[in-house]
Structure formats: C-alpha cells, structure tokens
C-alpha cells in the first residue's frame, strides 16, 4: 500500500486526500462479535471518484462511517489509522471532527426517506449546514439553500416544503443538495440510488457526475451495482469480508479482473448486451463475519484455492500502476 501510494503520486501527481491504513473494526453484541473490517487499506486522491463495491456485509458502509467517526457505540476500532488530509481522524477532538462533518466531508445516505428529518422543511435542513459551517444568518442561508436546490433541478420556491411532499428521486436530490452545500472536499455516497428506479437513477447519476466534474470534489461511491461504478468512477476497490481484495482503475479491473471473487461477481451478472446460456454463480455463501475463515477469507469459495490460501492471508500485490490484487495466484 505504501508503495502504491508513492507510485500513484509520482505517476499522476495527485495528492492524497484520505488514507486508511490497516483499519479493523468489530461490532459487539451480547452474544457475538462481528468482525466487520479486517485490515482495510485504501487511498482516495483529490478530485478522484472511487467506487467501493461488495456484497451485503462486506464492510462498505462501516468503512465510510469510520471515516466520519460515526460508528455506533457497540463498535470498536481494534486497529489501524485514518488520515484525512494528513491529520489523524482518530486523534481529532469531537469539536474538530464536527467541523469536518458536513463541511469538508459530506455524506449522502442510501434511503432519502429516513435521512431527512420529516418535521423540518428541506430548506431549513440545508440551511442549517450553512449556518453552522459558514456562519450565515437565517435569511442568507435560506437563499443559498434555494440556489442549491436549483442546482440539483428543484425549483427554489420549494425550500418551504417538507420531505414528505417530495417524490423519492427528488428527496435524493435534496440529499445531494445538502451534501454539496458547503462545497465539500470529499463526498461519500452510500448506495444513493438503490432505492430509486432506473430512469430516476439515471438522472441522479448524471447529476452527480456533472457536479463532481464541475466542483472537483473527491467522491467515494459505495454500491453493489457494478454498472454504476463503471459509469461514474475512475477507480474501484472491491471488498470482501472486511478487506479490500482488488483495487485499480475501473478500466483495468473490469477488463482484466484478477481476483477470483471479482471475476465471479462480473460473471454472475446477467448481461444486457447479449444472452448468455447460464449465469455463473459463486459457490458457497458470503463469509460469515462472526466466524471468518482462516487465511484468505475467500478460500472456501475459491476454485483455485491452495494449502497456502487456507493458512496465510494474502497482502496486496502490485500488478501494474493501475491494478492491485490480494491473491497469491498473482505472485511472481
């Protein structure tokens, strides 16, 4: 990972915005411990859009909320560190991190119905961000909120309406407007279109791509939909059982998937372009995060599994500047 950072900085001269090092997070309940993250290494560069893909329980959302230090009480960070623009997120005081949230780092949540407060108008909810972070007064903030709504395609007179008066797609636009209100450096979008229809999803994705281009915001796009990543992101990180198992440019990873899990995911998708005979299902079940397999977490489902995979956990190997994979099969 260290090497990866260096090569990328030198080859693309991009500054690192977020660096997650060996992050491990567990959730404790009365009976069980869930190993949600098990050594995540991830770098987000300035102005870059990174897609984080994986199935249910892979740890995508946990990665995102640890970055904002919004982990619930039963979660413990058992190891690793997170740096935001050179500062350690874990060492920040509550006040410091609060200044970052909503200002430098903003998040768009999956379900626009539950992430907006139903008893405040959408204008108030956007305006509060500007009042807290930009010190605007009520009137200025409301005016700015109206302008933000215009930017996402909602008429500004609707600042006085409540979330319940908007449709699902429009609520998500409100969520985006709130996300970009303070012109953040990093926008985290957690499955922003999963609850929406394809035609509305197309609108939202177009809007996000447009805003990202115009404002040069870094984007962390969390989704299980490989199609969205392929259309919206430059880089992709594939997660499995709390670890990043493949990382690289979207072009490289989707054209030459190196990890058996990534290959399996791509082959399991029905193709819209042509009709295949049969879908390729990955055998077995998603790793149980309460009882993780030894060695490589994917080994019980992998067709190329060796003795070594059962015992040792593979680290990231560099294939080329644009492609990294955690699989012994690619060691020279």
Partner 1 sequence: MSEQLNKERKPLVKAVNLKKHFQISRTKTLHAVDDVNFEVYPGETLGLVGESGCGKSTVGNVIMRLLPATGGELYYEDTDIFKLKGEEQKKYCQKMQIVFQDPYSSLNPRKTVKQILSEAYQVHKKDFAGQNIDELVKNLCEMTGIPLNLLDHYPHELDGGMRQVVGIARALSLNPKFIVCDEPVSSLDVSVQAKIINLLIDLQKEHGYSYLFISHDLSVVRHISNRIAVMYLGQIVEIADTDTLFAHTMHPYSIALLSAVPRVNVDKKVERIVLKGDVPSPVNPAPGCRFAPRCWMAKEECKKGLPVTLTEVEPGHLVACPFAHESAENAKNAVKHSLQ
C-alpha pair distances (Å), 121 with each of 132, 164, 200: 17, 9, 23
The residue among 78 and 225 lying less far from partner 1, judged by its C-beta, is: 225
The residue among 12 and 197 lying less far from partner 1, judged by its C-beta, is: 197
The least distance separating partner 1 from the CB of residue 8, rounded to whole angstroms, comes to 20
The residue among 135 and 270 lying less far from partner 1, judged by its C-beta, is: 270
The secondary element (H helix, E strand) that includes residue 77 is strand 75-84
The residue among 119 and 198 lying less far from partner 1, judged by its C-beta, is: 198
Nearest to 90 by CA among 107, 103, 74, 71: 71
The residue among 182 and 287 lying less far from partner 1, judged by its C-beta, is: 287
- What's the token pair of residue 217? 């915001």
The least distance separating partner 1 from the CB of residue 112, rounded to whole angstroms, comes to 13
C-alpha pair distances (Å), 152 with each of 80, 92, 118, 129, 272: 37, 33, 20, 17, 29
The Cα 148–Cα 311 span in angstroms is: 53
- CB < 8 Å & 24+ apart, contacts of 126-132: 126/159, 126/174, 126/177, 126/178, 126/181, 127/159, 129/102, 129/103, 129/178, 129/181, 129/182, 130/181, 130/182, 132/102
The least distance separating partner 1 from the CB of residue 217, rounded to whole angstroms, comes to 20
Q: Which residues would be at the binding site for partner 1 (CB under 8 A)?
A: 55-56, 167, 169-170, 197-203, 205-206, 224-228, 230-232, 250-251, 254-255, 264-266, 268-273, 275-276, 278-282, 285-286
Rounded to 10 degrees, the C-alpha dihedral 53/77/84/181 comes to: 70
Which residue intervals of the chain are DSSP H helices? 2-12, 60-67, 94-100, 112-115, 122-134, 138-151, 168-180, 198-215, 226-232, 250-255, 260-268, 307-311
The residue among 44 and 53 lying less far from partner 1, judged by its C-beta, is: 53
Helix (H/G/I), strand (E/B), else coil: 8: helix
The residue among 56 and 93 lying less far from partner 1, judged by its C-beta, is: 56
The least distance separating partner 1 from the CB of residue 82, rounded to whole angstroms, comes to 27
The least distance separating partner 1 from the CB of residue 273, rounded to whole angstroms, comes to 6
């Amino acid at each position: 990972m260290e090497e990866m950072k260096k090569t990328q900085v030198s080859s693309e001269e991009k500054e690192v915005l977020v660096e997650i090092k060996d992050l491990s997070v567990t959730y404790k309940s009365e009976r069980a411990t869930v190993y949600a993250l098990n050594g995540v290494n991830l770098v987000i560069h300035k102005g870059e859009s990174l897609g984080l893909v994986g199935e249910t329980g892979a740890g995508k959302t946990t990665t995102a909320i640890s970055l904002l230090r919004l982990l619930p009480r039963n979660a413990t960070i058992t190891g690793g560190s997170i740096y935001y623009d050179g500062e350690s997120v874990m060492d920040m005081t509550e006040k410091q991190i609060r200044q970052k949230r909503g200002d430098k780092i903003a998040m768009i949540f999956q379900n626009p119905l539950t992430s907006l407060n139903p008893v405040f108008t959408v204008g108030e909810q956007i305006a509060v961000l500007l009042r807290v972070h930009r010190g605007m007064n009520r009137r200025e903030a409301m005016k700015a909120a109206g302008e933000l709504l215009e930017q996402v395609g909602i008429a500004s007179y609707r600042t006085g309406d409540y979330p319940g008066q908007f449709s699902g797609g429009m609520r998500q636009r409100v969520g985006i407007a709130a996300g970009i209100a303070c012109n953040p450096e990093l926008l985290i979008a957690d499955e922003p279109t999963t609850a929406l229809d394809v035609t509305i999803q197309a609108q939202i994705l177009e809007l996000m791509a447009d805003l990202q281009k115009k404002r040069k915001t870094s984007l962390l796009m969390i989704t299980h939909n490989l199609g969205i990543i392929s259309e919206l992101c430059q880089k992709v990180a594939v997660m499995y059982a709390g670890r990043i198992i493949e990382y690289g440019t979207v072009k490289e990873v989707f054209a030459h998937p190196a990890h058996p899990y990534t290959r399996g995911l791509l082959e399991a998708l029905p193709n819209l372009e042509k009709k295949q005979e049969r879908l390729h299902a990955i055998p077995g079940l998603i790793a149980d995060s309460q009882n993780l397999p030894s060695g490589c977490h994917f080994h019980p489902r992998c067709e190329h599994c060796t003795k070594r995979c059962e015992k040792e956990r593979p680290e990231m190997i560099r294939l080329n500047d644009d492609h990294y994979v955690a699989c012994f099969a690619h060691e020279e």
